């Protein structure tokens, strides 16, 4: 597969661009009863993600393409099927190549629903 299935891309779960750390990506999310969240993104061009940190743990898996994560200055290259655990408070950033798809699970609230 080169795209996430359409049923996963409901506009009610869309992540607005002002909540993205990377330009030219499209993302959607789901929320657990405990407040944890799962998000999945598609990167449409080669991009760099600005450095940031979270106050909760993060797990990510590269589904397609390649994503290079920088944690505390060290690079981790993720190809399809590779996973990474990012402990809370870790300074992180990265870069992706066009077509990359990733899934992220956050131990807290990373995305806020847009009020309409």
Count of domains in the chain?
1
Asked if the structure places residue 56 within a domain, the reply is yes
Full residue range of the structural domain in which residue 93 is found? 40-103
What is the b/e burial string over 16-53, where b = at least 16 CB atoms within 10 angstroms of the residue's CB?
A: eeeebebeebbbbbebeeeebbbbbbbbeeebebeeee
Q: In this structure, is residue 112 part of a structural domain?
A: no
Residue 74 domain flag: yes
CATH number of 48's domain: 2.60.120.10
Assigned domain for 5 exists = no
Q: What is the pLDDT of residue 46?
A: 93
Asked whether the predicted pLDDT for residue 16 surpasses 90, the reply is: no
Q: Is pLDDT at 115 greater than 70 in this prediction?
A: no
Give 23-59 pLDDT, tens digit per residue.
678 899 999 999 999 999 999 999 988 889 999 999 9
In this predicted model, what pLDDT tens digit does every residue of 81-96 receive, in sequence order?
999 999 999 999 999 9
Q: What is the DSSP letter of 34?
A: T
């Amino acid at each position: 597969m080169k795209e996430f299935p359409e049923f996963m891309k409901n506009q009610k779960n869309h992540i607005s661009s002002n909540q993205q750390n990377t330009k030219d990506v499209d993302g959607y999310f789901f929320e657990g009863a405990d407040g944890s969240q799962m998000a999945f993104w598609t990167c449409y061009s080669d991009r760099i993600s600005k450095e940031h940190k979270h106050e909760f743990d993060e797990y990510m898996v590269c589904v397609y393409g390649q994503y290079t994560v920088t944690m505390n200055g060290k690079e981790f290259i993720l190809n399809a099927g590779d996973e990474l655990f990012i402990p809370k408070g870790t300074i992180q950033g990265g870069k992706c190549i066009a077509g990359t798809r990733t899934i992220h699970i956050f131990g807290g609230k990373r995305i806020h629903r847009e009020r309409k």
